[in-house]
């Protein structure tokens, strides 16, 4: 996995996928929706595991918004369910605007599988808007999102769907344990896959995520709160780093442990080093934060 662990939650992501699977696809003619703070989770984040969702952040007083919004609405309807347009009034939903760090409107973002993708600001010409939508649809297709899709034209035969790959019962068993909250059993089952297939990167990633979830489930909140005032308390530093990492504050988690590893004694240093290695594995080798953190770790150790 390249990039930050998104939305603080491997489990939250799994829950969102489950909710999206149970939710009905957008009805014909329902491809433009008004979204509020109360409906953002269901209509944007959860829905984005079904189809890509474009966010149109606007306000009544914004003249460029009145130029762009009709274009987006028309293209959404023409898309026939291949994507959904979520319209957000920034005046009525200021917390969404603040969370997205919107600097000016109109602003457009895309959300695919819970991942926020920066778009553009201002009322772009329609050809450029189409180019952005095409890029979003391509990314969604690569992520396995096909959208509700438009109905086939008269006389057209529906395309045959490729046969689904059979599920690996070992992963199914591990995921069932994870969904039940039995982290120890999930760890055991993912580890068993790795024992038989040491190069199975999917199992390795899932094992690392499950270990993080297990630690978070039993995190000592008091210890985490002590971290800033007790720099030599390794347990506090590890707990605070896990909380930061799971909250998508990846730089903060890495910085905290890199500072700690240079300060503590040998046994504790190894504990911190191993936690950093776990983070590196979760982020993936292509994440730019990883290469920088590895260099800093090497300097601290040697």
Q: Which tens digit of pLDDT belongs to each residue from 132-188?
A: 999 999 988 887 775 544 443 444 454 444 555 567 899 999 888 888 889 999 999
Alpha helix segments (H runs only) across the chain: 10-22, 40, 63-79, 94-99, 126-142, 169-179, 183-196, 201-217, 221-226, 234-246, 250-261, 266-283, 288-301
Q: For residue range 92-141, what is the model confidence (pLDDT) as tens digits? A: 999 998 888 888 899 999 999 888 888 899 988 999 999 999 999 998 88
Residue 240 burial by CB count (10 A; 0-12/13-18/19+): exposed, middle or buried?
Answer: buried
Domain segments of the chain: what residues? Answer: 6-142, 168-214, 219-302
Q: So which residues are the catalytic ones?
A: 62, 65
Phi then psi dihedrals of residue 122, to 5 deg? 90, 170
The residues near 62 (Cβ < 8 Å, ≥ 6 apart) are 105, 106
Domain 6-142 has CATH 1.10.10.60: no
């Amino acid at each position: 996995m390249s990039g930050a662990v998104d939305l603080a939650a491997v489990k939250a992501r799994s829950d969102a996928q489950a909710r999206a699977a149970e939710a009905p696809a957008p009805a014909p003619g329902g491809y433009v929706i008004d979204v509020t703070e109360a409906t953002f989770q269901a209509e944007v984040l959860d829905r984005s595991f079904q189809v890509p969702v474009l966010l149109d952040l606007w306000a009544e007083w914004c003249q460029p918004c009145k130029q762009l919004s009709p274009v987006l609405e028309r293209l959404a309807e023409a898309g026939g369910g291949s994507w959904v347009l979520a319209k957000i009034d920034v005046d009525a939903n200021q917390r969404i605007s603040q969370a997205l760090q919107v600097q000016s409107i109109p602003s457009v973002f895309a959300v695919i599988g819970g991942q926020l993708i920066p778009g553009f600001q201002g009322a772009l010409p329609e050809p450029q808007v189409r180019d952005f939508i095409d890029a979003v649809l391509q990314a969604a297709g690569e992520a396995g999102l096909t959208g509700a899709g438009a109905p086939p034209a008269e006389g057209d035969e529906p395309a045959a769907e490729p046969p689904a790959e059979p599920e690996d019962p070992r992963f199914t068993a591990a995921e069932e344990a994870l969904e039940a909250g039995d982290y120890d059993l999930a760890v055991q089952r993912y580890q068993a896959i790795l024992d038989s297939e040491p190069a199975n990167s999917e199992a390795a990633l899932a094992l690392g995520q499950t270990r993080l979830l297990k630690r978070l489930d039993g995190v000592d909140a008091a210890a985490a709160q002590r971290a800033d005032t007790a720099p030599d308390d390794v347990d506090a530093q590890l707990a605070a780093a896990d909380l930061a990492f799971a909250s998508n504050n990846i730089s903060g988690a890495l910085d905290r442990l890199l500072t700690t590893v240079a300060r503590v004694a040998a046994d504790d240093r190894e504990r911190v080093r191993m936690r950093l290695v776990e983070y590196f594995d979760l982020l993936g080798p292509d994440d730019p934060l990883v290469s920088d953190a590895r260099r800093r770790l090497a300097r601290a150790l040697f």
